[in-house]
Amino acid sequence: MRWRSGDRSNVEDLRGRRGMRGAAAPLGLGGILLVAALSYFTGTDFFSILGDVSNSVPTGDTSGELATSPEEERMVDFVDAVASDTQETWARLLGPRYERTVVTLFRDEVRSACGAADSATGPFYCPGDRKVYLDLGFFSELSQRFGAPGDFAQAYVIAHEFGHHVQNLLGASDRVREDPAPGANSASVALELQADCYAGIWGHDASQQGRFGAGGVELEPGDADEALQAAAAIGDDRLQRMGSGRVAPERFTHGSSAQRMEWFRRGMSTGDPAQCDTFARIQ
């Protein structure tokens, strides 16, 4: 990928924030389900984390010195560049219906309008405050634990979360709120696959030549494969096999590896959001 650093106006940097524990607002069951549905993948840890947080004692908002590195700062610039480019795509496609938002960067734990979360949740989108949440540590996990390295693999994760933002603006997220049950034909799977397709919509834009010269993000040969590898790496069947060794379609929330690749590819090849009607195809 080719990109350049911007003004970081697309990120909200809470990495130096400490003492988030205990500050969480009470979270209704619907909120819990929605956070789980919109996280990049659903970790079983998440629910126990929520319980832990709500029982702990508030420690206040003590900002400390941020220990960082040039590599990490470059990563912040990268997230900002991808978020900026993705939002430009959607502003062009949706016009005034698109509302800009930010990626909230955190370390270890964070409080969102959807409740408290920590790094084990993975990147997620909170419909309550309309923000994307990301711990940069996820990217090394994506590369090492899930076997999906590369900058476009990371960009795909960010673009997927912005896909959830678009769904929230257009009302698609409500369908999971109304019908939160998991399963291969569930609304949750349709929503997640649509977010993959929407990530591909941005990928379509980014693959156009001459964008870097015009100030945008531009893909290079081989980049698309990185995103497809990432999509395959976090399919429900693959994660279930990594976890319990058994595939249980009745517990699918995000779709299989093959489906995630297929819908990302569909968005990327067409650049047309109308091709992303997973609700018609899946249910």
Q: Segment contacting Zn ion (CB under 5 A): 150-158, 186-194, 239-247, 255-263?
A: 186-194
Q: How far is the CB of 197 from Zn ion (least distance, A)?
A: 12
d(CA 166, CA 268): 16
Q: How far is the CB of 274 from Zn ion (least distance, A)?
A: 20
Q: Segment contacting Zn ion (CB under 5 A): 95-103, 189-197, 206-214, 245-253?
A: 189-197
- In angstroms, the first-to-last Cα distance of the chain is 35
Angle between helices 187-206 and 151-170 (to 10 degrees): 120
Q: How far is the CB of 164 from Zn ion (least distance, A)?
A: 6
Q: Is 18 exposed, middle or buried (0-12, 13-18, 19+ CB in 10 A)?
A: middle
Nearer to Zn ion, 195 or 227 (CB): 195
Size of the site for Zn ion (CB under 5 A): 2
Nearer to Zn ion, 160 or 265 (CB): 160
d(CA 232, CA 101): 28
Contact 41, 123 (CB under 8 A): no
Q: How far is the CB of 173 from Zn ion (least distance, A)?
A: 10
Q: Segment contacting Zn ion (CB under 5 A): 114-122, 174-182, 184-192, 214-222?
A: 184-192
Contact 254, 260 (CB under 8 A): yes
Question: Which residues here bind Zn ion, judged by CB under 5 A?
Answer: 192, 195
